């Protein structure tokens, strides 16, 4: 019993540390959305110039196709520290040169830090946490995504109000630097985390496997389609609320908090139930709930409270599904976990960009019904992609893994 505690205690400390660092790095990625008007005023540029920063930041997920294989070869801790270093450097650049193009570059560099950081974290968990308990751990770590909306962004708003936007960049840079130092104290050296040179797969071979290995290819397609579905709704729901219910900015802001709460509950449900249900069943169950929520949204959303309840259900089901799928992804390519996760993030990022582009078109064409039902259709394609990819899939050597942690 004592030996089991000695094995688990350092890992628990590492997971808690990772949660706080994810909260910081997610806040730095997401704060641009609600504070876009403040940024446009502070930099004296049109709002469209700030949305260009957001779009370019999303495109950094494509570069993760290369950072993931590097993490599998060089080491997870090294890439985590690289991500935090990019965050610190990007925010420092924003603070030192508070004009549009330096801030543009700084925010994109900081966003790339998240692209580098996230696959390394997921791969680290996949390597060190037994599969039977992995959904619980990843679900807990992913609460940092909702936490950035519910805690990080409001806290940053108070900081900006008291010390100004420019000084806030310096504070974020300082926190990133502290995280860069701290993570080397908590996460063990890379030699303990990565496979031996004999077992490593070349970078090009790792990328090819994303398409050649059926479960991996199916999961990439799944992430692509469900991301199109979710972001096409997310980008127009504000216009829906304003047009149909004449909501104020305060009410619209409250709806964002409701979405953050739905994300938090979805992540918490993943931590509690996904391992018990079985990860494949959990993802399928979440997809079916999401499809139903999309289909029912136009019928439910006749009044503002019911429309907000419908959006809450959509985002709860989506978050439960996507976080459960993260856990599943960590086991599809055991010798290239970071490669698999970065590939998943990259294809999902492309899906989000496409969703933003077609969401507006669908809204102008057929209103919320066209958006919601199209989202249900895309999610159904995602379900079929998942079933195709995981048909006949079995984990590699589960007995060997369990023996290492018992």
What would the pLDDT profile of 292-336 be if each residue is shown by its tens digit? 999 999 999 989 999 999 999 999 999 999 999 998 998 888 888
Find the radius of gyration of the CA atoms of the chain. 21
In whole numbers, what is the pLDDT of the chain averaged over residues?
85
Predicted pLDDT of residue 253: 64
Predicted pLDDT of residue 7: 37
Is 47 in the same domain as 189? yes
Query: Structural domain of residue 335, as residue ranges?
Result: 204-405
Is 288 in the same domain as 193? no
Choose the final residue of a domain: 173, 203, 233. 203
Contacts of 58 (CB under 8 A, 6+ apart): 111, 349, 352, 353
Is 152 in the same domain as 219? no
Is 174 in the same domain as 315? no
pLDDT for 399 beyond 70 = no
pLDDT for 4 beyond 60 = no
Is 146 in the same domain as 280? no
Choose the final residue of a domain: 158, 173, 203. 203
Q: How many domains does the chain have?
A: 2
Q: How is residue 338 written in tokens?
A: 């970071």
Of the pLDDT bands very low, low, confident and very high (cuts 50, 70, 90), residue 269 is very high
What whole-number percentage of the chain has pLDDT above 70?
90
Segment among 129-133, 176-180, 218-222, 251-255 with least mean pLDDT:
251-255
Predicted pLDDT of residue 327: 87
Predicted pLDDT of residue 113: 94
Smallest CA-to-CA distance from 63 within 345, 327, 326, 335 is with 345
Predicted pLDDT of residue 1: 40
Smallest CA-to-CA distance from 241 within 305, 296, 291 is with 305
pLDDT for 200 beyond 90 = no
Predicted pLDDT of residue 279: 87
Is 257 in the same domain as 159? no
Is 198 in the same domain as 211? no
pTM of structure: 0.81
Contacts of 316 (CB under 8 A, 6+ apart): 262, 263, 265, 266, 269
Q: How is residue 377 written in tokens?
A: 């259709």
Q: Compute the average pLDDT of residues 12-36.
A: 88
Is 104 in the same domain as 213? no
pLDDT for 108 beyond 90 = yes
Choose the final residue of a domain: 203, 226, 251. 203
pLDDT by residue (tens digit) across 67-91? 888 888 888 999 999 999 999 999 9
Is 142 in the same domain as 210? no
Is 307 in the same domain as 279? yes
Is 22 in the same domain as 89? yes
Of the pLDDT bands very low, low, confident and very high (cuts 50, 70, 90), residue 203 is low
- What CATH number corresponds to the domain at position 347? 1.20.1250.20
- Give CA–CA dist 171/155, Å, rounded: 12
Of the pLDDT bands very low, low, confident and very high (cuts 50, 70, 90), residue 133 is confident
- Give CA–CA dist 86/66, Å, rounded: 16
Is 244 in the same domain as 347? yes
């Amino acid at each position: 019993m004592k030996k089991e505690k000695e094995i688990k205690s350092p890992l628990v400390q590492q997971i808690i540390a990772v949660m706080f660092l994810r909260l910081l790095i997610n806040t730095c990625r997401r704060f641009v959305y609600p504070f876009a008007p403040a940024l446009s005023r502070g930099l004296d540029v049109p709002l469209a110039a700030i949305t260009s920063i957001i779009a370019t930041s999303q495109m950094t997920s494509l570069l993760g196709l290369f950072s993931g294989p590097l993490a599998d070869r060089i080491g997870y801790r090294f890439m985590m520290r690289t991500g935090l270093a990019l965050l610190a450097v990007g925010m420092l650049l924003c603070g030192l040169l508070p004009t549009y193009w330096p801030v543009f570059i700084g925010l994109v560099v900081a966003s790339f830090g998240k692209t580098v950081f996230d696959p390394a974290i997921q791969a680290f968990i996949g390597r060190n946490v037994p599969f039977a308990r992995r959904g619980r751990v990843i679900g807990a770590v992913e609460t940092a995504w909702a936490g950035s909306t519910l805690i990080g962004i409001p806290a940053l708003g108070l900081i900006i109000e008291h010390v100004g936007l420019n000084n806030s960049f310096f504070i974020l840079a300082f926190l990133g630097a502290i995280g860069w130092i701290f993570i080397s104290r908590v996460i063990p050296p890379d030699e303990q985390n990565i496979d031996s040179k004999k077992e490593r797969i070349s970078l090009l071979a790792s990328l090819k496997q994303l398409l050649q290995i059926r479960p991996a290819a199916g999961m990439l397609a799944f992430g692509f389609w469900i991301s199109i579905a979710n972001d096409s709704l997310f980008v127009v729901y504000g216009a829906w609320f304003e047009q149909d219910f004449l909501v104020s900015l305060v009410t619209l802001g409250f709806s964002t908090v409701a979405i953050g709460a739905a994300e938090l509950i979805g992540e918490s449900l993943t931590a509690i139930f996904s391992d018990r249900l079985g990860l494949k069943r959990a993802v399928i169950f979440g997809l079916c709930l999401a499809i139903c929520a999309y289909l029912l949204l136009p019928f439910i959303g006749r009044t503002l409270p019911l429309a907000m309840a419908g959006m809450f259900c959509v985002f709860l089901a989506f978050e439960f599904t996507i976080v459960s799928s993260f856990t599943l992804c960590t086991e599809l390519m055991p010798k290239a976990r970071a490669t698999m996760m970065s590939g998943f993030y990259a294809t999902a990022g492309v899906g989000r960009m496409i969703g933003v582009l077609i969401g507006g078109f669908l809204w102008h064409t057929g209103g919320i019904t066209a958006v919601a039902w199209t989202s249900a259709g895309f999610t159904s394609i995602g379900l079929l992609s998942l079933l195709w990819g995981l048909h006949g899939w079995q984990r590699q050597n589960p007995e060997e893994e369990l023996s290492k942690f018992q």
